Amino acid sequence: MTGAGGTVLRCEGVSRRFDDAVALDGFNLQVQEGDLLALLGPSGCGKTTALRVMAGFERPSAGEVWVGERRVAGPNTWVAPEGRRIGMVFQDWALFPHLDVWHNVAFGLADGPDERVREVLEMVHLTGLERRMPHELSGGQQQRVALARALAPGPEVILLDEPFSNLDATLRARVRAEVREVLKEAKVTAVFVTHDQEEALSMADVLAVMDNGKILQVGTPHEVYGAPATRSIAAMVGEANFLTGTVDSGKVVTQLGLIPAPGLADGPVEIMVRPESVTVAKDSEGTATIVAVEFYGHDQLVRAEFEDGNVVEVRLLGPRPDLHIGAPVTVSLCAPAHLFRLDDHKSLFPFCGLDRVKASS
Ligand code: ATP
């Protein structure tokens, strides 16, 4: 899983200001050897600028960038992109339209590149297509040429900027898996930028969530999804329902029932629960009513509204024809809920957990 061979890339207190925008603001990140790290955040939060600073296409206004033991940007230090041993795959892949696959990959390899070109083309499963021009390739194949070109010089790290955004939805899932496989096979450390949470969760060994030019939380996808540090991270990584509740003598009173919270001071808290962590049962005495059902084949999303107008989204596997609009239901927890403080929206973890949900029932 996460690398054990030391830090390959490090940003320390990096800031990057443009005339009227602060793209990076005290940005700190460490990437461990062999890891595939996803940088996830909303549009405009500074993801591309972070990659460009790492690659050397942007100079930081403050802070330092290190590749292994070498400082490549900082006060009185500047190593140009070609001296950093960092490979870059651009969002539009930036293939040379007048060069065939072979020459696109060989570009940038100084001497005797033949063996290496053959090797990386085999790695990305493009052997046999050496003489094709970029316009004669599918989107997925073009993507792999861009990856092969970045891998060819044997960089320490590969940076990929929204690498799948040019692919349609069906192709994207397959190409994602292929790219992950190639990077793992090549044992290369990589950072990719995305605003697609599904992409980040499914592909990355390590997930770094950022907003407003800063890293907010770093962890495995399971850790970040399962224990988001703040309310906004919970909303950014996965689907989330938010409700308010009151801690009263070690229990949180919520519309979903009681959640034990021993040791927590009395007062209001916010509760976050994932749609797959809630269930509904038809119940003529129920306190909620189904107001929408979205059927996706493999699962369905049901919206249940309480009398006070609060709505909870529930994701259920398998067909449930009994759950129609207008049906009265009881909504209850079947997996961990998360509690956040109301003032600063920080997590009250570990005051959540399935064992506690079970204990309360
Ligand atoms: P997206 O997901 O939409 O690509 P992003 O997270 O990659 O966004 P950046 O492209 O890094 O965000 O931009 C961060 C901020 O810096 C934005 O407010 C953007 O307008 C600003 N910015 C980026 N590049 C420049 C530039 N060359 N000149 C001025 N402002 C810039």
Task: List, for residues 298-347, the tens digit of each pLDDT value.
Answer: 889 999 999 999 999 999 998 888 899 999 999 999 887 888 888 888 88
226 in the same domain as 307:
no
CA distances to 51, 218, 249, 273, 278 from 221, rounded to whole Å, are: 20, 9, 34, 17, 21
The tens digit of pLDDT for each residue in 190-210 reads 999 998 998 999 999 999 999
Confidence check: pLDDT of 2 > 60: no
Ligand 1 atom at minimum distance from 193 CA: 7
**CA of 51, closest atom in ligand 1:** 11
Instruction: Give the contacts of 304 (CB within 8 A, at least 6 positions apart).
Output: 280, 288, 289, 290, 291, 311, 312, 314, 329, 331
Instruction: Flag whether 361 is in a domain.
Output: no
Domain membership of residue 358 (yes or no) is: no
Same domain, 140 and 215: yes
Identify whether residues 200 and 271 lie together within a single domain: no
User: Residue 350: which pLDDT band, with cuts at 50, 70 and 90?
Assistant: low
204 and 269 in a single domain? The answer is: no
The reply to whether 40 and 141 lie within a common domain is yes
Domain end, chosen from 172, 205, 230, is at 230
How deeply is 18 buried, as exposed, middle or buried, from its count of CB atoms within 10 A (0-12, 13-18, 19+)? exposed
Same-domain status, 37 and 150: yes
How many Å lie between the centroid of ligand 1 and the Cα of residue 289?
A: 43
Mark whether 152 and 249 lie in a shared domain.
no
CA angle 34, 149, 73 (to 5 degrees): 60
- How far is the centre of ligand 1, averaged over its atoms, from the C-alpha of 270 (Å)? 32
The count of domains in the chain is: 2
Band (4; pLDDT cuts 50, 70, 90): low
**Residues 207 and 294 placed together within one structural domain of the fold:** no
- Residues 213, 290, single domain; the answer is no
Q: What is the residue range of 334's domain?
A: 239-350
Residue 53 covered by a domain? yes
Say if residues 41 and 222 touch (Cβ distance below 8 Å).
no
Distance 46 CA to ligand 1 centre (A): 6
Which of 48, 59, 90, 192, when mutated, tests ligand 1's pocket best, judged by the most ligand atoms within 8 Å of its CB?
48
Nearest CA to ligand 1 atom 3: 43
Residue that terminates a domain, selected from 172, 206, 230: 230
Measured by CA distance, the residue closest to atom 11 of ligand 1 is 46
Least confident interval from 91-100, 164-173, 306-315: 164-173
Nearest CA to ligand 1 atom 29: 18
pLDDT at 194: 92
**Who lines ligand 1 at CB under 6 A?**
18, 21, 23, 41, 43-49, 195
| H or E element at residue 323 | none
What's the sign of the alpha-carbon dihedral 342, 348, 351, 353? positive
Residues 101 and 132 in one domain: yes
Atom of ligand 1 nearest to the CA of 19: 29
Asked, for residue 251, whether it belongs to a domain, the answer is yes
Residue 357 in domain: no
User: Are 125 and 274 within one domain?
Assistant: no
Give 230's DSSP letter.
B
- Determine the pLDDT at residue 302: 96
Question: Atom 9 of ligand 1 has which residue's CA nearest to it?
Answer: 46
CA distance 57 to 303: 46
Q: Of 230, 260, 292, which residue is a domain's last?
A: 230
Domain containing residue 149: CATH number? 3.40.50.300
pLDDT of amino acid 322: 86
- Same domain for 174 and 273: no
Alpha carbons 248 and 341: distance in angstroms, whole number: 15
Q: What percent of the chain has pLDDT over 90?
A: 62
Q: Two tokens at 79?
A: 């190593």
Measured in Å, residue 310 CA sits from the centre of ligand 1 at 36
Specify the pLDDT at position 286. 92
CATH code where residue 306 lies: 2.40.50.140
Q: Is 183 exposed, middle or buried (0-12, 13-18, 19+ CB in 10 A)?
A: buried
110 belongs to a structural domain: yes
Residue 358 has pLDDT above 50, yes or no: no
Pocket test for ligand 1, best of 11, 15, 16, 18 (most atoms within 8 A of CB): 18
Mean pLDDT score, 132-161: 91
Strands 251-254 vs 257-260: parallel, antiparallel or unpaired: antiparallel
Domain membership of residue 356 (yes or no) is no
Q: What are phi and psi of 297, to 5 degrees?
A: 90, -75
